[in-house]
Each structure stands twice: as structure tokens, then as C-alpha cells.
Structure 1
Amino acid sequence: MSKLKNRFLSLDVFRGLDVALMIVVNSPGNGSTSFAPLRHAEWHGFTLTDLVFPTFLFVVGNAMSFSMKKYESMGNPAFFRKVLKRTSIIFLLGFLMYWYPFFDDGQLKPFSETRVFGVLQRIALCYMFASIILHFVKTKTAIWLSAVFLVAYHLILIGFGDLTLTGNAVIKLDEWLIGADHMYHGEGIAFDPEGLLSTLPAIVNVIIGYLAGRFIQNNGQNFETVAKLMMFGCVLVFAGLTWDLILPINKKLWTSSFVLLTCGIDLFAIAILIYILDMKKAKSWSYFFEVFGKNTLFIYLLSEVFVISLFAIDIGDSSLYRWIADNIFISWSGGYMGSLLFALWVMLSCWAVGYFMDKKGIYVKV
């Protein structure tokens, strides 16, 4: 636990907005009756939900723009100890989250059937690689490396597979590296949308988030900053949509066009929040999201453990998760609205914990 220092309200609220939306899209009462914007694109394409995870990586980069200043005065051994420790903890938390609740019918769930890669694992790896790059190279070099990563990933995708669910290079590497039993099966087959290969372009989301954070700190919260952020955002969105013509926007493959589109949208979003919150001081609504933004990683992990626990508790032939969704929300408000209301209930339950922590001055940092 630690105190909060050198915070920008717009960045905290941006983090909070993203975590709130992430919890809502990850915990529908009934996934088959979720509103379309709250579902991922089936394959190629883009929805609001597809923006959530890349934005999480973008805000990780934002946070790094503060913490990396401290690392600059460290020697390299101390820097690596700090980064590798944080990477290991986040990766382990992600793995344990997929292993949880650890026991099934009184038996320890086998490691051989536990998913290895995932959301927190990708955050950990992207944080590690982005930290090393940004610690050792200049800004211009980091930008060039980002371009190289995106182009190289494009070439790998088309050189070592196709762009289908079953024939892409991402699934081939994961099957060879960790095996099908350690992969996500939510697509009906063993395919991990957070696989190792597709982590390469995701590093760029963190780097651009970091550069945006440094830009805001160096230039201040003013009209020029807002205008330049929106200009850069426009360039990236245009580049992403142009790249989409030859490499479709695809969240599950984390294509290079997807990276540019999402980073562009994130730059627009943070520019708008700076204008509203930091310049116009219209912040009467912001505290709700600040609660999420001040304990981002903890509240996300809490939400996942909460949902997994509800699924793990049996009520008759169903789970407590399904029972609450069907009987308390969907039964009277219908499938689509009931599914949304259930997700909002999960989100507000997590917010209540975050609110208590904020009032007590408890901020969990890894």
C-alpha cells in the first residue's frame, strides 16, 4: 500500500472509465443476450468492447510515464530487479486467477489443464518489454521500434499462416510452445487471444500510452496539448483504417491495424478528458471513476475473482452466477436489460470495495 503522488485527474478518470467498462463487458448476466456494443467482434471488425483491453495497456503506459522517472536514477541492476519483480507478480496473479478456485471435487485442479497466458499475463509481459525499451533507448528510437514491431508482426502473420481462427500464426506458436491444454477454449477450439506472439504488437499500446503521458507532463494541460493529442489521434486512426485494407482490424489476433486504431481513439479520449476535467474543471461526476482509477489492478483482479467464485458455487443444476442473473435481474427486465443490470451490479459491488479503500487511504500497488 502506498500514497498517491503526482496524479493527473484526467488520467485517473481515464483508468477508472476503462476498468468500469471492463468489468461490465466481462460479467454479462447472459452473454447470448448482451447488447452488441458489449460483445467482442466475432473475428474481423471492431466494437466498443474491443477497445477495453488495449486501453488498459495504454493506461499502463500512462502510469509508467510517472514511475519511469524514478528508474532513470537507478543503476541497471536495481532497474531490472524492480521491473522483473513487478512483471513476475502480475504474471503470477494472472495465472493463479485462472487456476482459482484451485480445487475441483476435493482434488487440486491439475496444472496441466490450466491456462498459461491471459489478460494480466499480457499486461506483465508488455510492461516488462516496454519498460526495458523505454529505459535504454531515446524516444525517437522507441517510436521506430514500435513501427518495426507492427510491420514485423504483419509479415509474421501472413508468412507463417493465414488470418483464420484455425490457421493463424498465433495459434501455431502457442500450440507448439505450451500445448492446447494450456490455452483458452472460449472460441470452441484451443486459441488464446492473449497468446505469446500477439503480445509483440501489444507492446506498442503501452509505449504509445507512455509517450502520451510524458507529452502531457512536459507540455501541460492546455489547448495546445489537447489539439496535438487529437491531431496525433487522428493520424493513428487514419493509419489504422488504411492498414485495415490489407490487414483487417482484429482484436483476437491483435493486428497492427487494430493497435493503431485503438491508440488513436485513446489519444482522442484522453484529450477530451483533459479539456473537461483539467481545463474546464467540470469534475462533479468524476469521483465515481477516480475510485476505480486509484486501485486499478486490484479492482480488476477483485472483479475476476468475484465472478469466478459466483460460477464455482452450485445452486441446484446451475451456478450462483446464473441463479442471480436469471432470478434477480433477467426474470423481470428481460434478457438484454437484465444481462446489463447484472453486469452493472457486479461493477458497483467492486466499486463499493474501491470506495471503502479510497476513504481509508488504502492503495494497493504491485
Structure 2
Amino acid sequence: MLRAHSEHILALNPEGRLMSVDLLRGLAIAAMVLVNNPGSWSYVYAPMAHAEWHGWTPTDVIFPLFLFVVGMSIVLANGRRETFPRVAWPQWSRALKLYGLGLFLAVFYYNFRDPGYDWFADRLAGVRFLGVLQRIALVYILCCYLVSWLSTRGLIVAAALGILLPWLMMLWIPYSSDNGEVFRGQLLFGNHFSAWLDQWLLGREHVYYRTAEPFAFDPEGVLTTLPAVSTCLLGVLAALAWKSSDGSAAARIKLCRCWLAAGAILLLAGQLLHPWVPINKALWSPTFVLVSAGVSLLLLATLFYLVDIRRMRAPLAPLLVFGVNAIALFMLAGVVGRLLIMIPVGEMSLKGWLFSNLFQPLFGSYGGSLAFAISCLALFYLVMWQMYRRRIIWKV
């Protein structure tokens, strides 16, 4: 049955696409949904949680993996053409829709259990300006401009500057708190130049970590968007390497080896530099860019070898269902996840009731939390499969 299902998926997949990239996108968005929907945030296995501050876990590299694929998609959408079109309304429309969807998720919540809940004050007046979809929107439009303006060498320089300049700013630019205390070079939770900038530009009430001291900040903040652009540009460069190959079997093998070697070098370099330049997702530090890009390239090379060289497609085909409708899946998961928290069941939410009365008794605390997340992903797969088989592709 599973093999027949996979063959059905492959039969519906349009020809001429680089399947490994669709699968990589599907892997990234499926992992993102899985780690964002535990049965209880009190019971999350360590690999499925973010690092507390410095360091990294598999969960930390999921978002940069998605941005890496965004960069590849910018190039692949242009086919084999040598020149890239000027940025116009189609690109801006996509970016604005992504940003708008991010704002929608930010305000889509109501506490029905609190009769005095003020939605306007809590959600609208204090809307979070930045977030996952908002960052994707900003990174996408900036990369579109860079790809249309710069040569390959220029893109390499831009990626390097995007990694280094924000980090040098965090190390060397002094900043002060409300009480006049001056800081420089701090890399602490709530005390770093990027946090100061977020609070100054966005306001304490419009960021994710509102209660952080001395500065509120956003993990998808203003300054850290620049190295996130570099992550996307590394995806652009990986796709340009594919584009420059002649498509022969020997060229595909050579490309795969180059991606593997580059991924291993970046991952090793980032890990070795960690004692001096800490790996930190919230700061999107240079070592975090290296490590996440290294993981992305290794996964890309592995999938490219399996499905585009060896043609071993059936076992991985279900990821296509997620990959071709990634934003639809993210929105579905976001809306359903919030509804499960909003709908009251007695003194608790529907999500809390399901976890404590069904999943926790059956699988235990940690196992039940994971089983809840897997069940959500399976449910979302059924919806995405119906869209896929009807060729409903939600393009923003």
C-alpha cells in the first residue's frame, strides 16, 4: 500500500523539477511543524528543543535549512536561463503576502477562558512585527534583489559581508540601557547589541521576548536578518553550482561530491570556531551560519544522490506532498495549533485535555508529547495529500 501510494505521488509530480530540492523543502517544513506542536512544552526531548542559548540542536538548524531552500528556489525558478529578471511586482507580491500571513498568525488568538481578556490590547496593539514568515519575506525579497544585481562573485562577497558585519557590530558598537549603563560586546540573553536595536526600533511590546532584561528582543530580529540573508545566499550559490553543470552523469556525481565536501567543511569549521565565536541561533552568529549551511548541504547532497542520481524515489516520495505546499502546511499547522489552545474544555484547553487524557496515559509524558506531535503531522499530511492529488498548489 505504501509503495502504491508513493508511486501515485511520483506520477502526479511534474517533470523537469529538481526533486531533491522539493524533498528538502518537505523535510524542512515537516520537521518545523513536528517540533512546533508537542503535546506539552514541559515534555520535549532534547533534540526537539532549541538550545537554551549558545550551542545547537537538530531543531535549531530547521529554519535556516528552509531559508537555504528558499535561496535554491530563487535560482531554480529561473530555469537554465543565464540572466535573472529584474525584481518587480510578482516578487514583491510574494513577499508582502508572506509578511501578511505572519502578521495574521501573530494576531490569531483569543483567550476564551478569561472573561476579561482584551484581544485588542494583547494581540493587535502589541502585535509582533517580526517572526518566521516575516523573516522569510524579508530574506526572500532582499535575496531577489541581490541575485538580480550581482554576479556569482558578488553574491559570495555579499554573503560574507552579511555574516561578518552584523557580528562586528555586536562586538564593537557600544549601547546603553535606560538607566545609562553602557555595554559593548555582550552576548547574553537580553543583553546584546541586536537586542538593544530591536527594543529601540520595534519597541518592547512588539517582540517575542518582551520580558527579557535589560533589553527585550526578537529571535527573528532586525540585525540578525542580515546573516539570515547570507544563509539564503548560500542556497543560491548551491543552486548556481547545479545550474552551471552540464547535467551529465559524471557532472552530477562531481556536483554531489562538491556539495558533500563543502557541507563537511562548513560544519567542521563552525564547530571548531565555537569556543571563540559561539554558535547561537537567536544571534544568527557566523558559526551558526556555517553549521546550519553545512547541515543543509549535507542533506541536499544526500537527497540529490538518492533521488536524482540513483533514482531511489519511492521511499521519500511522501515528502513531496509537504514540499510542494510548504506555506499551506505551515499556515494549517499554525491555525490548528492555536485553535487547540483556544478551545476550552472545562478548566483547560482542548490541547491540554487531549494530551492529559489520551496521549499521556497511553505513551507517558515525553512519549505522549511526541506522539501528539506525530499525530498532528499525520493529520496535516492527509489534508496536504488531498490538495496534492487535486493539484491544488497554494502559491503566495
- Both proteins in one fold, TM over 0.5: yes
**Structure 2 residues without counterparts, runs of 5 or longer:** 1-12, 174-183
Once residues 30 and 314 of structure 2 are traced to their aligned partners in structure 1, the CA distance between those partners, rounded to angstroms, is 18
The within-5 A match list for 1:189-204 is 190-204=216-230
Match of 2:239 among 206, 213, 216: 213
The within-5 A match list for 1:153-168 is 153-160=166-173, 161=184, 162-168=186-192
**1:102 CA displacement:** 6.5
Once residues 73 and 179 of structure 1 are traced to their aligned partners in structure 2, the CA distance between those partners, rounded to angstroms, is 38
Matched, 1:173 2:197: yes
Q: Is the 8 A contact 1:240 1:261 kept in 2?
A: yes
Once residues 260 and 159 of structure 2 are traced to their aligned partners in structure 1, the CA distance between those partners, rounded to angstroms, is 20
**1:294 CA displacement:** 0.8
Compare CA radii of gyration and give the structure with the larger one. Answer: 2
The within-5 A match list for 1:78-157 is 79-101=87-109, 108-110=119-121, 111-157=124-170
How many residues get paired? Answer: 361
- 1:324-346 deviations in Å (ceiling 9; x for gaps): 12212112210111000000011
Once residues 333 and 186 of structure 1 are traced to their aligned partners in structure 2, the CA distance between those partners, rounded to angstroms, is 35
Once residues 156 and 245 of structure 1 are traced to their aligned partners in structure 2, the CA distance between those partners, rounded to angstroms, is 19
Matched, 1:241 2:251: no
The verdict on how the C-alpha distance between 1:114 and 1:229 changes in structure 2, with shifts beyond 3 A counting, is same
Q: Is the 8 A contact 1:126 1:202 kept in 2?
A: yes
SS, match of residue 31 in structure 1 = coil
Q: Is the 8 A contact 1:58 1:205 kept in 2?
A: yes
SS, match of residue 88 in structure 2 = helix
Match of 1:276 among 298, 306, 309: 306
**1:71 CA displacement:** 11
Equivalent residue, structure 2, for 1:321: 351
Identity %: 32
AA partner of residue 140 (structure 2): Y
- 1:292-341 deviations in Å (ceiling 9; x for gaps): 00101111111111101111111111111111122121122101110000
AA partner of residue 336 (structure 2): F
Once residues 210 and 289 of structure 2 are traced to their aligned partners in structure 1, the CA distance between those partners, rounded to angstroms, is 23
AA partner of residue 36 (structure 2): N
Q: Is the 8 A contact 1:23 1:347 kept in 2?
A: yes
Once residues 84 and 308 of structure 2 are traced to their aligned partners in structure 1, the CA distance between those partners, rounded to angstroms, is 30
Q: Is the 8 A contact 2:204 2:210 kept in 1?
A: no
Once residues 73 and 275 of structure 1 are traced to their aligned partners in structure 2, the CA distance between those partners, rounded to angstroms, is 28
Superposition CA RMSD, Å: 2.1
TM-score when normalising by structure 1: 0.93
Once residues 372 and 134 of structure 2 are traced to their aligned partners in structure 1, the CA distance between those partners, rounded to angstroms, is 27
The verdict on how the C-alpha distance between 1:149 and 1:132 changes in structure 2, with shifts beyond 3 A counting, is same
Q: Is the 8 A contact 1:153 1:256 kept in 2?
A: no
AA partner of residue 48 (structure 1): P
Match of 1:62 among 63, 69, 72: 72
Equivalent residue, structure 2, for 1:290: 320
Equivalent residue, structure 1, for 2:37: 27
**1:107 CA displacement:** 5.8
Once residues 242 and 134 of structure 1 are traced to their aligned partners in structure 2, the CA distance between those partners, rounded to angstroms, is 31
Once residues 185 and 163 of structure 1 are traced to their aligned partners in structure 2, the CA distance between those partners, rounded to angstroms, is 15
**1:73 CA displacement:** 6.3
**Structure 1 residues without counterparts, runs of 5 or longer:** none
Match of 1:48 among 44, 53, 58: 58
The within-5 A match list for 1:9-20 is 9-20=19-30
Q: Is the 8 A contact 1:233 1:264 kept in 2?
A: yes
Could you tell which deviates more after superposition, 207-216 or 188-197? 188-197
**1:216 CA displacement:** 2.1
